[in-house]
Amino acid sequence: MSTALVILAAGKGTRMNSELPKVLHPIAQVPMLVHAMRAGAVLEPERTVIVAGHGAEAVRAAALDEDEGATVVLQEEQLGTAHAVDQARAALEGFAGDVVVLYGDTPFLQPDTLERMLAARKTHDLVILGFEAADPARYGRLVMQGDSLERIVEFKDATETERAIRFCNSGLLACNAETLFGLIAAVGNDNASGEYYLTDVVEIARKQGLAVTAVACDEAQTLGVNSRADLAAADAIFQERARAELLDLGVTLMAPDTVYLAADTVIGRDTVIEPNVVFGPGVTVESGATIRAFSHLEGCHVSQGAVVGPYARLRPGAELAENARIGNFVEIKNAEIGEGAKVNHLTYIGDASIGANSNIGAGTITCNYDGVMKHRTTIGANVFIGSNTMLVAPVTLGDGAMTATGTVVTRDVEPDALAVARTKQENKPDRARKLFDMLRAKKARKQKDT
């Protein structure tokens, strides 16, 4: 049976107090909507429909960036969850499979939960996702009779017996497309809010004699994000899970609570991560590397045995070969650092290639930007760059070359050649004493005047 996803992402999220649409607020540096899309992707859906509203163009861009085959439809007026799902009707015209309805602000669904929902669909017309709530007071209760869902009861309408039920409604469901849109067509808005509620389909389905059930999952999977506090809590949950997975995979986290991970961070076993390291999107660290304290990495690749930091920054396009060394207060951007090469301190390397076993001295800068264009620096193997060297790109240094300390390199250096570019030093006898006397006298006059 083919599957389609409908992801509701139209809400403004007033409690977020933000111009950014709620579903685009990030968890582990990825929008919540993308988390929901990735959770649903395990079902290999034939169609994915995103129902957007507030900030629709930004939502559309994020959705298509994740899945260019997705369809984004607009809910111009937010008239309730059933109304939102109904906006996907035209996009799913002719689709005969199952529809799974997800929420763009519910980022933690696990693949096995969705698979169990579809498995339950084989014997039931409508499947609701429920959870055992630690504090169920504000949730609708799922009243079960065996494996049959009899009804959903809101807390304000529940009896004392029903209020004691801890099995609660998440709002997510799975149903055959034709059946689902038929049920939605029967949903009314005769309620205090004047909205069309998706939960009403349960009662309608029961009246039509359809088989309805509920599948249970952990409460954390159904966590919805409605405020900045919720967002922080959700990010903390993600980080805790991601750190635990790394520890299980054989990664050493010296102070786990201080390491921040992105959703796509990949770290090989026997890697050591020291305290206060931040991983941005797009980072892969191979086995046996060491990332020292207070380093920041994004969009980069660190090979086996490499050492980064402390206090280092790897920006997008940084490629470190095996056993490369990047030290303190070093920034690498769009550059390849060869096997065994060392960039140990106080250096900027941007738009460059550094060959194997080369050594880059302290204070070296690749001057890669002329105000309009970026230019590349190429450094061969076994090159020694003296401290405080300025490499004015585009420039190439051949294998085995060397630069003297304080050199400004403006043209290519041949292999095995030494580049020296300094002005002649002159010492002026007694000039320092006279200059200090003059400056002190000037300072005294100013103080007297005030």
Pairing of strands 325-337, 47-52: unpaired
Q: How far is CA 376 from the centre of its chain?
A: 30
Compute the distance between CA of residue 342 and CA of residue 121 in angstroms, rounded to an integer: 59
Query: CA of 230: how far to CAs of 22, 44, 129, 243, 428, in Å?
Result: 11, 29, 21, 20, 67
Element containing residue 71 per DSSP (H, E): strand 71-74
Q: Which is nearest to 43 in space by CA: 123, 124, 117?
A: 117
- Where in 310-407 does DSSP place strands (E)? 313-314, 319-320, 325-337, 342-354, 359-360, 365-367, 377-379, 384-385, 390-392, 395-397, 402-403
Phi, psi of 145, rounded to the nearest 5 degrees: -130, 95
Pairing of strands 126-132, 47-52: unpaired
Length of the chain: 450
Phi, psi of 158, rounded to the nearest 5 degrees: -85, 150
Can 296 be counted among the known catalytic residues?
no
Alpha helices (H) in 146-250, listed in sequence order:
160-163, 177-185, 200-207, 228-248
Q: How far is CA 107 from the centre of its chain?
A: 12
CB within 8 Å of 106: residues ≥ 6 apart = 32, 36, 170, 172, 221, 222, 223, 224, 225
Compute the distance between CA of residue 105 and CA of residue 327 in angstroms, rounded to an integer: 40
Do residues 412 and 395 lie in contact, with contact meaning Cβ atoms separated by under 8 Å? yes
Compute the distance between CA of residue 289 and CA of residue 295 in angstroms, rounded to an integer: 13
Cis peptide preceding 310, ω within 30 of 0: yes
* Residue 94: Cβ within 10 Å count: 5
Compute the distance between CA of residue 402 and CA of residue 160 in angstroms, rounded to an integer: 83
* Residues assigned a catalytic role: 345
